[in-house]
Amino acid sequence: MILPAFGIVSLIVPTFARKRLFGYASMVYATAAIALLSFMVWAHHMFTVGIPLVGELFFMYSTMLIAVPTGVKIFNWIATLFRGSISFEVPMLFALGFIVMFTIGGLSGVMLAIVPADFQYHDTYFVVAHFHYVLVPGALFAIMAAAYYWMPKWTGYYASETLGKWHFWLSVIGVNLTFFPMHFSGLAGMPRRIPDYALQFADFNMLSSIGGFLFGFSQLIFVWVLIKAIRGSGEKAHAHAWEGADGLEWTVPSPAPLHTFDTPPPFDPLTESPSRH
């Protein structure tokens, strides 16, 4: 679920940093490593079921190992941003939100990978917090970033920057207000999948409820942004909608025609990008 998000962010960050992606080859190898290792870590959900010690050790080490290629990706994105000429359009905001909050989810994942600690964390709201910090800012924020990034090419019109920024900031506040308190309720012992809970968890759960409603409301703004762009309301998009964007889609008109190239487009092997001449 997260691998397409890695690809999306790896396209958006260089575009709005006005730099080439740092360490392209290592990014590719890291993606392949994550894809391979992800098939080998499934029992980290089952540390408490009584699997043999050798199994616990294997799945603990393999789960911690997957943090290495993930860390390579985080480093490469930050290095791409370093000394870049950064602009903060809505796609870039969602990409940066992805990097920051996905990293938080990854750090709590390393905590859950340690078998003795997982015996305490298992089946508590700490796991819920970790899981949603990985997938909501991860998969969902990347999808939203992609929607804003390619919306000009899809509809022929830019999304509203004002509404898009409202959508981003309300989403960020809503996500953190919903899921960050769950770390504390989980550490305090609140289990998952229960119909009721003790009163000592009420304050944390009230914050999570408010955050959940706020995050849900912010998606209504996103729906309105999509409707406005599809209806053709807003600034007309050029073929090359974003300065610094690279890829074949930016060489055709916006919105993209049903048929694009009669002959294969020229390719510059020195820059590894399609020629715009």
pLDDT value of position 268 = 60
pLDDT value of position 255 = 87
Q: What angle do CA 272, 147, 134 make, to 5 degrees?
A: 90
pLDDT value of position 58 = 94
Phi-psi group of 104: left, alpha or beta (phi > 0 → left; psi -120 to 50 → alpha; rest → beta)? alpha
State both tokens at 215.
């995050």
Half-sphere exposure of 87 (CA within 13 A, CB side): 11
pLDDT value of position 276 = 43
pLDDT value of position 269 = 52
pLDDT value of position 273 = 53
Question: For residue 77, how far is the Cα from the chain centroid?
Answer: 12
Taken in order of first residue, the domains within the chain and their CATH numbers are: 3-274 (1.20.210.10)
Positions of the chain with pLDDT under 70: 267-277
Q: Which residue has the tokens 């820059």?
A: 271
What is the pTM for the complete model shown? 0.89
